[in-house]
C-alpha cells in the first residue's frame, strides 16, 4: 500500500506575512466584487447626464469631473484585480483617447454576469470560452451595424458628426460650440495625408474670466504670459531657444574676492557687464529678434536685451519648449551664446495680445508650416476650465481615431442594443454550455443604454423594453436612449446626428473583454507582506494642548 504524502500547506512555503486566497469563493468572487465596486463608481458619470465626481488626490489637488480617465488616473487603486481594469482603461485612453468609461462599465457588468453563472455551477473555463466566442461574434456584427461614415477629414461639417457626440457626453449643452472650435482648429492643421495628423498639434490655453462663448481659436502657439522686457512684437523674426537661465554664471564653489579700493569694485562689476553685453551683442549680430528661455532671466541680461531690441519670453514647461522648437524649427540650446544658422528658428509673427484683461504671447506662422493651433477657452473657475479642456481633448482624439477608420455607428446606446439582440440570437443557435455565457455577454451589453436612462432620470426597465420593441420591429439598429426631459425614452440616433466612431467601440469591447477574461482566469491570489516597518506617527498640530 502506497504511503500518502501530505500536501504542503501554503504558510509553510512562504515567510510570515503572506496572504493566500484560492478557489472560486475566495479568489474569483472577491475579484469580481472589487471590479463591481469600481465599475459602479464610474457608471454614474456615463453619458450627457453623467454626474461629476469630486476627487482629491494624494497631492491634495481637487478634481471635479465626469471624465472616467481622469477619475481612474487620480484614484490610488490598491486591489490587484481592480488595477488590471485600470490598466485596460488607461490603454484605451492611450490607443484611442475616448471610451474609457465604456471599458470599465462593460468589464464590470461582464464579471457580474459571470458570477451568476459560477453560482449556477459553470466552470470558469466554460464561461471564458463562451465570452471569447461572443466577443469574436460581436466584432463581426459591429462591421454590419455601420450607418454612416466621414467622407472628408478636411471638411468641418463632416467631422462635426463624430466630434459633437463625444463632446456632448462630457459637456451637454455646449457640444455645438465646442465641436465648432475643435473642427475649426483641426481644419487649420490637417495635413494632406490624414494619417500624419498629430493630436499634439491642437493646444489648449485656459484663461480665467469671461464665459465659454468668449472662447476662440488662434492660429499658432499661444502662451498665457506676456514678454519679459519692453519689446512686445517682432515680425519675420529669427528665434533662439535656451533651456538654461540667462544670467551671470555662478561658481560651483564658494569664492572670496578681496577688494582694496572703490576702483577695484567698479572694475569687478564692469567685467561682468562687459561679458553679458558681449553675449547679447553676439545674439543681436546673428539677427536674433526673439529669445525664449526655459529658466530665469537676470536683470542685467534683461537690460541689454531691451537695449538691443530683442524680445524675451519665459516658458517654464519643457514640453512647451519642445513644441515651440517644432513650430519654429529651432534647436533648444543648453548654453548662452549665439546659435548657428541651423540652430536658429524662424517665426513670421510674434506678438503680445490682450484677451479679457490678460496678455498672452502668440507665435504665428503665416505659411502652412505652423502645424500648431491653439484653442483659448474662457470660464469662471479653474475646475470648469479643466473639464472643458478634457472635453476638447476627447473631441480631438475622436478625429485621430477617424484617421484610422472613418466609419460611424449609431450612438445613444443603439449599437449596444442591436449587438445584444443579435448576440442573444447567436447564443440560442450555439450548442452546449457556451450558449449560457454568450447570452450573458449579450445581457451585459444592456448596461450602456440602461445606465444612460438611469442617469437621465428615466425608468430604465421601461426604456429597455421600449428599445427592444423598436429593435425587433426594425433591423437597422439605430434606436437609442433619448435623454432629453420631454421624451418617450427612445429616439432615432441617425436622424438626431448621434454617432459613435467604430474603432472606439471595437477597442473598448476588446479591452473590456480581455480584462474580464484575465480576472476569470485567476484562481489564486498570493500577496506578500508590504515592505518597510510601521509608519511614523504624524505630527500632532495640537501637541501643546492638555
pLDDT digits (tens, 9 = 90+) for 236-295: 888 888 888 777 666 556 767 777 888 777 777 677 777 778 888 888 888 888 888 887
Structure-derived torsion over alpha carbons of residues 446, 452, 456, 460, reported in degrees to the nearest 10: 0
Question: The domain that contains 91 carries what CATH number?
Answer: 1.10.560.10
pLDDT category of residue 30 using cuts at 50, 70 and 90: confident
For the chain, the distance separating the N- and C-terminal CA atoms, rounded to the nearest angstrom, is 75
Indicate whether 377 belongs to any domain.
Answer: no
Clarify whether residues 106 and 245 are in a common domain: no
The C-alpha atoms of residue 434 and residue 137 are separated, in whole angstroms, by 13
pLDDT at 10: 54
Clarify whether residues 361 and 452 are in a common domain: no
Whether 167 contacts 182, CB under 8 Å: yes
Instruction: List the Cα angle 84/86/89 in 5-degree steps.
Output: 115
Indicate whether 163 belongs to any domain.
Answer: no
**Burial tier of 351 (Cβ tally within 10 Å: 0-12, 13-18, 19+):** middle
pLDDT digits (tens, 9 = 90+) for 11-22: 566 666 556 566
pLDDT at 536: 65
pLDDT digits (tens, 9 = 90+) for 489-528: 788 888 888 888 888 888 889 899 998 888 888 776 666 6
Indicate whether 22 belongs to any domain.
Answer: yes
- What is the rounded average pLDDT for all residues in the chain? 80
Clarify whether residues 348 and 453 are in a common domain: no
Clarify whether residues 326 and 229 are in a common domain: yes
Clarify whether residues 333 and 472 are in a common domain: no
pTM for the model: 0.80
The C-alpha atoms of residue 284 and residue 538 are separated, in whole angstroms, by 56
The C-alpha atoms of residue 23 and residue 344 are separated, in whole angstroms, by 65
Clarify whether residues 334 and 428 are in a common domain: no
pLDDT category of residue 90 using cuts at 50, 70 and 90: confident
Average pLDDT estimate for 52-66: 82
Clarify whether residues 353 and 234 are in a common domain: yes
Indicate whether 59 belongs to any domain.
Answer: yes
pLDDT category of residue 80 using cuts at 50, 70 and 90: confident
Clarify whether residues 30 and 119 are in a common domain: yes
Write out the DSSP string of 532-546: S-PPPPPPPTTTT--
Indicate whether 201 belongs to any domain.
Answer: no
pLDDT at 430: 81
Whether 273 contacts 243, CB under 8 Å: no
CA-based nearest residue to 508, from 85, 34, 53: 85
For the four alpha carbons of 327, 329, 334 and 336, in that order, the dihedral sign comes to: negative
The C-alpha atoms of residue 63 and residue 390 are separated, in whole angstroms, by 12
pLDDT at 1: 45
Clarify whether residues 26 and 120 are in a common domain: yes
Q: In what order do the strands lie in the sheet with 148-149?
A: 148-149, 407-410, 499-501
The C-alpha atoms of residue 381 and residue 155 are separated, in whole angstroms, by 33
Which residue carries 425614452 as its cell? 489
Clarify whether residues 232 and 348 are in a common domain: yes
Whether 283 contacts 291, CB under 8 Å: yes
pLDDT at 485: 57
pLDDT at 535: 65
* Residue 28 DSSP symbol: I
Clarify whether residues 452 and 319 are in a common domain: no
Whether 150 contacts 184, CB under 8 Å: no
Clarify whether residues 363 and 486 are in a common domain: no
The whole domain housing 264 covers: 221-250+260-371
Indicate whether 118 belongs to any domain.
Answer: yes
Domain boundary among the residues 371, 387, 419 is at 371
Indicate whether 397 belongs to any domain.
Answer: no
Indicate whether 395 belongs to any domain.
Answer: no
Structural domains of the chain, count: 2
Question: The domain that contains 245 carries what CATH number?
Answer: 3.50.7.10
pLDDT category of residue 370 using cuts at 50, 70 and 90: low
Amino acid at each position: 500500500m502506497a504511503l500518502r504524502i501530505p500536501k504542503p500547506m501554503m504558510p509553510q512555503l512562504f515567510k510570515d506575512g503572506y496572504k493566500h486566497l484560492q478557489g472560486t469563493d475566495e479568489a474569483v468572487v472577491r475579484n469580481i466584487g472589487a471590479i463591481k465596486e469600481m465599475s459602479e463608481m464610474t457608471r454614474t458619470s456615463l453619458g450627457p447626464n453623467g454626474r461629476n465626481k469630486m476627487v482629491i488626490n494624494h497631492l491634495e489637488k481637487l478634481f471635479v469631473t465626469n471624465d472616467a480617465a481622469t477619475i481612474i488616473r487620480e484614484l490610488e487603486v490598491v486591489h490587484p484585480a481592480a488595477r488590471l481594469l485600470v490598466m485596460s482603461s488607461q490603454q484605451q485612453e492611450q490607443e484611442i483617447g475616448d471610451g474609457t468609461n465604456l471599458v470599465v462599465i462593460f468589464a464590470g457588468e461582464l464579471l457580474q454576469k459571470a458570477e451568476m453563472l459560477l453560482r449556477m455551477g459553470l466552470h470558469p473555463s466554460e464561461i471564458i470560452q463562451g465570452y471569447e466566442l461572443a466577443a469574436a461574434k460581436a466584432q463581426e456584427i459591429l462591421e454590419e451595424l455601420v450607418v454612416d461614415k466621414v467622407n472628408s477629414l478636411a471638411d468641418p461639417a463632416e467631422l462635426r458628426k463624430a466630434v459633437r457626440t463625444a463632446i456632448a457626453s462630457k459637456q451637454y449643452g455646449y457640444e455645438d460650440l465646442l465641436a465648432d472650435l475643435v473642427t475649426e482648429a483641426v481644419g487649420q492643421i490637417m495635413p494632406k495625408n490624414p494619417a500624419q495628423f498629430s493630436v499634439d498639434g491642437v493646444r489648449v490655453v485656459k484663461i480665467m474670466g469671461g464665459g465659454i462663448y468668449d472662447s476662440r481659436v488662434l492660429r499658432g502657439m499661444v502662451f498665457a504670459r506676456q514678454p519679459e522686457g519692453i519689446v512686445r512684437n517682432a515680425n519675420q523674426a529669427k528665434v533662439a531657444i535656451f533651456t538654461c537661465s540667462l544670467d551671470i554664471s555662478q561658481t560651483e564653489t564658494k569664492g572670496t574676492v578681496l577688494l582694496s579700493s572703490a576702483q577695484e569694485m567698479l572694475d569687478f562689476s564692469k567685467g561682468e557687464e562687459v561679458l553679458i553685453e558681449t553675449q547679447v551683442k553676439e545674439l543681436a549680430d546673428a539677427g536674433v529678434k526673439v529669445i525664449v528661455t526655459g529658466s530665469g532671466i537676470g536683470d542685467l541680461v534683461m537690460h541689454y536685451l531691451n537695449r538691443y531690441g530683442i524680445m524675451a519670453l519665459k516658458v517654464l514647461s519643457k514640453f512647451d519648449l519642445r513644441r515651440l522648437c517644432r513650430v519654429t524649427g529651432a534647436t533648444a540650446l543648453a548654453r548662452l551664446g549665439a546659435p548657428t544658422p541651423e540652430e536658429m528658428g524662424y517665426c513670421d509673427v510674434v506678438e503680445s495680445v490682450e484677451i479679457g484683461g490678460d496678455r498672452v504671447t502668440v507665435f504665428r506662422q503665416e505659411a502652412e508650416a505652423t502645424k500648431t493651433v491653439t484653442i483659448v477657452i474662457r470660464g469662471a473657475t479653474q475646475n470648469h476650465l479643466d473639464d472643458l479642456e478634457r472635453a476638447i481633448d476627447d473631441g480631438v482624439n475622436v478625429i485621430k481615431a477617424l484617421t484610422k477608420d472613418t466609419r460611424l455607428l449609431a450612438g445613444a446606446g443603439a449599437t449596444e442594443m442591436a449587438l445584444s439582440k443579435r448576440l442573444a440570437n447567436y447564443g440560442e443557435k450555439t450548442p452546449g454550455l457556451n450558449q449560457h455565457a454568450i447570452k450573458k455577454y449579450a445581457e451585459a451589453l444592456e448596461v450602456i443604454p440602461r445606465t444612460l436612462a438611469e442617469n437621465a432620470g428615466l425608468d430604465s426597465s421601461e426604456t429597455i423594453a421600449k428599445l427592444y420593441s423598436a429593435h425587433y420591429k426594425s433591423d437597422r439598429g439605430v434606436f437609442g436612449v433619448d435623454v432629453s426631459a420631454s421624451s418617450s425614452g427612445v429616439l432615432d440616433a441617425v436622424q438626431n446626428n448621434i454617432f459613435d466612431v467604430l474603432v472606439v467601440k471595437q477597442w473598448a469591447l476588446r479591452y473590456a473583454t480581455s480584462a474580464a477574461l484575465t480576472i476569470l482566469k485567476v484562481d489564486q491570489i498570493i500577496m506578500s507582506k508590504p515592505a518597510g516597518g510601521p509608519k511614523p506617527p504624524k505630527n500632532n498640530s495640537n501637541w501643546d494642548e492638555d
